[in-house]
Chain A
Amino acid sequence: MIEGVWLWITFAALALTTVITRGSFILIGEKGRLPPTVQRALRYAPASALAALIVPDLLLDHGHFQAFNPKLVAGAVIVAIALRTRNPWLPFILGMGVLIALRKGLGW
């Protein structure tokens, strides 16, 4: 866990990523234009990055591969819900519900 001054430095660094990306073209003004090829390639960055953070949490247990585990089951439920409804609460309620039921109820 990062603590104390370093934690605040970390927040400042992250704040910088917010302003750098959001401000990139707004701050440059009229000179800046993104090449269309780069723009098209960048469209894939969020999906790739989000999956890169999600999948390890669903498949790894302390760095070890776990093909079948409570989080993966909860993850499947969340995807199924997110595909069917735009309700902003359901994925959280049912996803956490499944995970807690499997862990606490079944002791998995």
Chain B
Amino acid sequence: MDSAFRRGAREGMRAFLPISVGLVPWAIVTGIAMRSIGLSELEAMGMSLLVFAATAQLGTLPLIASGAPLWLIFLTGLVLNLRFVIFSAAIAPAFHEHSMARRLASSYLLVDGVFVAVSEKLRTADDPQWRWGCYLAPAVYGWMLWQACSLVGVLGAGAVPHDWSLEFMATIALMVMLVPMVRTRPMLLAAVVGGVGTVLLRGLPLRLGLFVAIALGIAAGFAAEHWQERRAAR
């Protein structure tokens, strides 16, 4: 282990530590939510380790509970994870010199908090070893913190009475994620069209309403942004 790696690791940890606190309630809630639909402790931790994506986990739990078809669950997970395509595109240059195994591990470990904390540092650093440390240390720490807190939720869920509507925690978690996202009018429009559209289109067969509404929401947000820019240009 050379010192560039270590210096990078220290820098990455310093940036990520303060925001990592936010993972704690989120992970506990995800653990509880998985148990609330009837997954066993083993199944819940299996999901946590394999999927390692809170939004996709929380968002697909109702579909798993209602026995929805696999393709629908897969597509829903894909849509919920779409933001990572943007993160991946932004952070990819940092890993160009690294092996496929390292890039695969980096992909699995790429989460919102780590991206926010280190992406700018990675973009401006020249030493590949420094970059690897700066990414890997907070990413692995974040993963361990997440899994440990999920386990607390998974084991603790049994202590809460059944009639407390704990499954609502999943919706709260999704709302906590959504609210800070909706800071501009086009973003608000995308959310309103996606949300209301899903309710209005719930009669469509094969639960296609969900996808049609999400697509309409994306189109509405994009169109609104375009229109806003054209108006500003005038």
Binding site for B on A (CB under 8 A): 1-2, 6-30, 32-34, 39-60, 63, 65, 71, 74-75, 78-79, 82-83, 88-89, 91-92, 95-96, 99-100, 103-104
Candidates B77, B195, B218; contact of A44 at CB < 8 Å: B218
Q: What would be 11 A-B contacts, judged by CB atoms less than 8 Å apart? A: A1-B65, A14-B56, A15-B50, A17-B56, A17-B77, A25-B91, A39-B89, A42-B218, A47-B191, A55-B198, A91-B172
State A71–B70 Cα separation when bound (angstroms).
Answer: 28
Partner of A13, one of B77, B86, B175, B214: B77
**Which residues of the other chain, B, contact A16 by a CB distance below 8 angstroms?**
74
Assuming the A-B contacts A50-B177, A56-B202, are A22 and B107 also in contact, with contact meaning beta carbons closer than 8 angstroms in the complex? yes
CA distance A19 to B199 in the complex (A): 30
Q: Assess whether B176 is in contact with A78, with CB atoms less than 8 Å apart.
A: yes
B216, closest chain A residue (CB): A48
- Complex CA distance for A9 and B51, rounded to whole angstroms: 12
Q: How far is the CA of A51 from the CA of B188 in the complex (A)?
A: 10
Interface residues of B toward A: which range? 35 or more
| Cα distance, A81 to B122, chains bound together (Å) | 34
- Least CB distance from A40 to B in Å reads 7
Q: How far is the CB of B76 from chain A (nearest CB, A)?
A: 8
Chain A residues closer than 8 Å to B171, beta-carbon distance: 53-54, 57-58, 71, 75
Q: Give the segment of B6-14, B18-26, B124-132, B140-148 that binds chain A.
A: B18-26
Contact code string B55-94 (vs A, CB < 8 Å = 1, else 0) = 1110110101111001001101111111111111101110
- By the criterion CB–CB under 8 Å, are A47 and B60 in contact? no
Instruction: Tell me, in angstroms, the Cα distance from A17 to B190 when the chains sit together.
Output: 23
A71 to B106 CA separation, bound complex (whole angstroms): 38
Given contacts A22-B107, A56-B202, A92-B29, contact A1 B64 (CB under 8 A): yes
B175 contacts which of A2, A15, A54, A99 (Cβ < 8 Å)? A54
A9 nearest CB neighbor, chain B only: B70
Which residues of chain B from 170 to 228 have a CB within 8 Å of any chain A CB?
171-182, 186-187, 190-199, 202, 210, 213-214, 216-222, 225
Check B196–A55 contact: CB distance below 8 A: yes
Q: Tell whether B53 is near chain A: CB-to-CB under 8 Å.
A: yes
**Residues A10 and B197 in contact, CB atoms below 8 Å apart:** no
Whether A48 pairs with B193 at a CB distance below 8 angstroms is yes
Query: Assuming the A-B contacts A11-B50, A88-B21, A91-B175, are A52 and B195 also in contact, with contact meaning beta carbons closer than 8 angstroms in the complex?
Result: yes
Q: Bound state CA distance, A57 and B198, in angstroms?
A: 11
Do the beta carbons of B86 and A34 come within 8 Å of each other?
yes
Is B4 interfacial (CB-CB < 8 Å)? no
| Set A14, A20, A30: member contacting B73, Cβ < 8 A | A14
Given contact pairs A47-B221, A55-B198, A74 touches B21 in the complex (Cβ within 8 A): no
- Which chain A residue shows the least CB distance to B217? A48
Residue of B nearest to A58 (CB): B171
